[in-house]
Amino acid sequence: MVYPWQQFQWQKVQQQKSGAKLPHALLMIGPQGLGKLDFALNLANSLLCSTPDTQGHACGECVTCKLVDAGTHPDLYILQGEERGKTIKVDDVRQLSAKLNLTSQYGGYQVALIVDAHDMNINASNSLLKTLEEPPVDTVLILVSSNPEKLPVTVRSRCQVINFNIPETQMALSWLEDQNIQQAGALLNLAHGAPLLAVGLQQDNLLEHHKQLINALLGVAKNQSVIEQAEQLHKLPLGYLLNWLFDWVQDLIKLHQCGDPVKLVHIAQQSELKQLVTRSSLPGLYDYLDQLIKNKQLQSIPLNTQLLWEDLLLSWYKTLKRA
């Protein structure tokens, strides 16, 4: 499906296609949780479908559509790392380029989709350049990235960029409510406005984890045991908690600098945040933010999360105490 906040991009691409002006390489960029990969897959299916509808959507019934659904269409190539965040290597790109130089088996487009294209190492990116500069006829490369700044300029400059932006709040809330998402507003805030991230937060019951984090922070502020609170947190998903803690501190900084009204991620905890403003200082909060950034950068290596949370919560207590 093409999501409501993607309609403009879809219409633009379909106009290019109908006018025989579709670029040979598209780079789809934007924050996570906006459905860029879904859009790319829909576009690939549309290009390969033998009988798309008037809006360019694949019919879902023809032979090529069924092959795409089964993941066996011979003219669709999907390249990605072995796991999320793993490097896409030069040999993988070379194999992809070799396949694209073959004749289309169905006599139409050949489509290559590179998922998380920013995961290509420098050699892989350089290898892709030749295909971008001299693409085979009727070949479309679709690169998807939430971190396009990691891609070399030489790659980005040879693609037409399609931007995906955070949708208007009311549009996102309406869509979430149509999906029967409970507490849509709170989830959307924690997801920074990205609807699909909000859906994931509910499906994984992460609101409860967020509640535990906030309770721990408020508990430590009331002189409750750091070690006991750390024992509760170290069993929970570290990445999410560090991101929420980062947002929590940034909300405090916003209140310090701007006062009311200000857009907060933790709008439901606004009264608690206002009380903590009186117990914190900007220099202390910025120092704590620096500590958080360093810890976020260490997530890729094995960590003793119990000790990490003891350190973070003790620093949080000292930040409030110092003020």
Question: What is the structure's pLDDT at 298?
Answer: 82
Nearest 5°: the CA angle 163, 4, 15 is: 60
Task: Give the pLDDT score at 323.
Answer: 63
Q: Which of the four CATH numbers 3.40.50.720, 3.40.720.10, 3.60.15.10, 3.40.50.300 does domain 4-165 have? A: 3.40.50.300
Domain boundaries, the chain: 4-165, 204-322
Cβ neighbours of residue 110 closer than 8 Å, sequence gap 6 or more: 75, 76, 77, 100, 104, 136, 138, 139, 140
Give start and end residues of each alpha helix (H) in 191-237.
Answer: 195-203, 206-221, 226-233
Encode the chain (323 residues) as per-residue pLDDT tens digits.
Answer: 799 999 999 999 999 999 989 999 999 999 999 999 999 999 999 999 999 999 999 999 999 999 999 999 999 999 999 888 789 999 999 999 999 998 888 888 999 999 999 999 999 999 999 999 998 999 999 999 999 999 999 999 999 999 999 999 999 999 999 999 999 999 999 999 999 999 999 988 899 999 999 999 999 999 999 999 999 999 999 999 999 999 999 999 999 999 877 889 999 999 999 999 999 999 999 999 999 999 888 877 788 999 999 999 999 999 998 76
Q: What are the helix (H) ranges across the chain? A: 7-18, 36-48, 63-70, 90-100, 122-133, 153-156, 169-178, 184-190, 195-203, 206-221, 226-233, 238-258, 270-277, 282-297, 305-322
Q: What is the pLDDT of residues 98-112, one digit of tens each?
A: 999 988 888 889 999
3-class state of residue 202 by DSSP: helix
Query: Does the domain spanning 204-322 belong to CATH 3.40.50.2020?
Result: no
Torsion of CA 175, 181, 184, 186, to 10 degrees: -150
Closest residue by Cα to residue 145 from 46, 92, 79: 79
Same topology between domain 4-165 and domain 204-322? no
In three-state secondary structure terms, 264 is: coil
pLDDT of residue 1: 78
Mean pLDDT taken over the chain: 94
Residue type, 3: Y
